[in-house]
Amino acid sequence: MTQTLFTNISGLVTPGVGAQRGAAMRDLTVIPDAALLVRDGVIRWVGPRAEAPRHVPEHDLGGVAVVPGLTDPHTHAVWAGERLADFEARISGVPYEEILARGGGIRSSMRATGAAGVDELVALARPRLRALRDSGATTTEVKSGYGLDFGAERRMLQAVRVLQAEFQLVPTLLIHVPPTESRAEYVQAVCHDLIPGVAHDGLATAVDVFTEREAFTVEETRAILQAAKAHGLQTKLHADQFHAIGGTELACELGALSVDHLEASGPAQIAALAASNTVATILPGVTLHLGLPAAPGRALIDAGAAVAVGTDLNPGSSPVFSAGLALALAVRLCRLTPAEALTACTVNAAAALGLSDRGALAPGQRAHFLALHSADWRDLPYTLGANPVRNVFIGGTPV
C-alpha cells in the first residue's frame, strides 16, 4: 500500500461525481487551504488541510490551485500525412469541393494513413498525445476513421493499443467516410465483418458514425450502431456539424453515450438532448479553425442538457493540441461560464466515454488531477497562449 497526502493547495476545485446537467454544471465545490489523500492511485480523502489524516507522507504542492484532470472525449490523434496545402488554399477562398478535386481534403489523410504501418502511426501520434497530456488531459479518446479499408482501420486501433502502455486512452472505431462505389455493400461489411472483428479483438470500446449529408444517412447509421450494440460496444455519433438531418435524435433514441459537433443543432435537437442521457459534446476548435457557427453550448445547458467539450484534434478541421485551450475556447465561443467549462471537460467528458471513475476530486475517484501555476483555478479558462498547468498527476503520480 502506498499513500500520499498532497498539501499546501490554495484551493481545491471540483464538480460533483458523475455527469452534471444544466444549472448543476455551475455547482463547483471549492475548498481553500485543502489537502488530498491518495492511496494506491485512488482518492481516499479530501478536505481542509487542518482536518487531514496524520502520520502520512506529504507532498507539498506549493500553494497553487488543484483541479481534476481533464478528459478529452473526441480526438483523431492517429493520422499520417499533413493538410497544410489544404489550409492555405481554404484561407485563400478555395472551396472544399475543389480541394477534394485536387486530391486534398480528408481523402488525402486517408491515403497517407492507409499507407502507414502501425509503428509509423505510433511514432506520429505519440507527440500529439504527449501535448494533450501536458495541457491537462489525463484521459484521451482516440478514433480510427482515416482508413476506409478495414486493414487500415485496424492498424489505427492497433496503434492506439500500443500507445495505451504510455497514456490513458479510450479507443473508438469511427465509421467516417462512405466509399464512392458499392456503398450498401460497404455498410453491410462494416456490420458483419469489421465491427465483429474489432469487438472480438478488444480493439475499441465504442463505435462512432459520421451522420451527415455528405457522409452516412440516419438509416445507415442506425444499422451500424445496432451492429455495434449487438457486439457489446458502446455507441457515439458525429452529427449536426453542417446540417441537422436526424443524427442527434437517433443518438438520443438509441441511448448513445454522446453526440458530438452540434454546430447546426436547433431547438428540436437541443430539446431532444435535454430530455435524454446522451451527452452533448461540443468542439470549439472547429469553430475557430473553420469559421463555422459555434455549437449552442449556452442553449444546451440552459435547456438542461449535459455538455462536454473536446479538442477534436485532427489534421483538417481542428489542429488543437491542448485540452486546456478547448476549455478556454468553450467559454469564449460557446458561452459557457468558467465553472461550466471545467465540468464539461472533466466529469461530463468522462461520462461521454462511459467512465464514472474520474473527473471529480472525491473519495473513490481515480487520482487524476492538475496542479496549476496559479493560486486561482480560473487561470485555467482565462489563459491563452501559455500552459496554465504546472504538473499533471495520473493515479497520484506526476508525469
The closest alpha carbon to 205, from 323, 355, 89, belongs to 355
Please determine, for residue 51, whether its predicted confidence score (pLDDT) is greater than 90: yes
Is the sign of the CA dihedral 287, 354, 275, 247 positive or negative?
A: positive
- Percentage of the chain with pLDDT > 70? 100
Buried b vs exposed e over 202-240: b needs ≥16 C-beta within 10 Å? Answer: ebbbbbbbbbbeebbbbebbbbbbebbeeeebbbbbbbb
Give the model's pLDDT for residue 95.
83
Give the model's pLDDT for residue 314.
97
Looking at the chain, which runs of residues are DSSP E strands? Answer: 3-14, 29-39, 42-48, 58-68, 70-72, 137-143, 169-175, 206-211, 234-239, 258-261, 279-282, 307-309, 369-372, 389-394, 397-398
Give the model's pLDDT for residue 347.
98
**β pairing state of 137-143 and 42-48:** unpaired
Give the model's pLDDT for residue 350.
98
Query: What is the mean pLDDT of the segment spanning 191-200?
Result: 98
Which residues partner with 37 through β-bridges? 5, 45
The DSSP secondary structure of 43-79, one letter per residue, reads EEEEEEGGGPPSS--EEEEEEEEEEEPEEE--B----
Give the model's pLDDT for residue 171.
98
Q: What is the pTM of this model?
A: 0.97
Whether 10 contacts 60, CB under 8 Å: no
Give the model's pLDDT for residue 200.
98
Please determine, for residue 23, whether its predicted confidence score (pLDDT) is greater than 90: yes
CA distance 166 to 90: 36
Banded pLDDT at 69 (limits 50, 70, 90): very high
Query: What is the mean pLDDT of the segment spanning 292-311?
Result: 98
Place of cell 480541394: 99
Whether 354 contacts 31, CB under 8 Å: no
Query: What is the mean pLDDT of the segment spanning 16-33?
Result: 98
Please determine, for residue 12, whether its predicted confidence score (pLDDT) is greater than 90: yes
Distances (CA, A) of 57 to 4, 54, 297: 5, 9, 43
Please determine, for residue 101, whether its predicted confidence score (pLDDT) is greater than 90: no
Please determine, for residue 353, whether its predicted confidence score (pLDDT) is greater than 90: yes
Banded pLDDT at 369 (limits 50, 70, 90): very high
Task: Round the average pLDDT of the chain to a whole number and report it.
Answer: 97
The closest alpha carbon to 177, from 216, 227, 151, 123, belongs to 216
C-alpha cell at 101: 478535386
C-alpha cell at 117: 504501418
Please name each of the domains of the chain with its CATH number. 3-69+358-398 (2.30.40.10), 71-351 (3.20.20.140)
Give the model's pLDDT for residue 1.
80
- pLDDT tens digits, one per residue of 132-178: 999 999 999 999 999 879 999 999 999 999 999 999 999 999 999 99
Laid out side by side, the sheet with 234-239 consists of: 70-72, 137-143, 169-175, 206-211, 234-239, 258-261, 279-282, 307-309
C-alpha cell at 200: 472480438
Cβ partners under 8 Å of residue 35, min gap 6? 5, 6, 7, 9, 45, 46, 47, 48, 49, 52
Least confident among 116-125, 176-185, 380-389: 176-185
Please determine, for residue 100, whether its predicted confidence score (pLDDT) is greater than 80: no
Q: What Rg, from alpha-carbon coordinates, does the chain have?
A: 21
Type of residue at 200: H
CA distance 397 to 399: 6
C-alpha cell at 15: 464538480
Banded pLDDT at 198 (limits 50, 70, 90): very high
Give the model's pLDDT for residue 96.
78
Banded pLDDT at 15 (limits 50, 70, 90): very high
Please determine, for residue 84, whether its predicted confidence score (pLDDT) is greater than 90: yes
Banded pLDDT at 107 (limits 50, 70, 90): confident
> Per residue, what are the HEC states of 286-298?
HHHHHCCCCCCHH
The DSSP secondary structure of 195-207, one letter per residue, reads HHHHHHTT--SEE
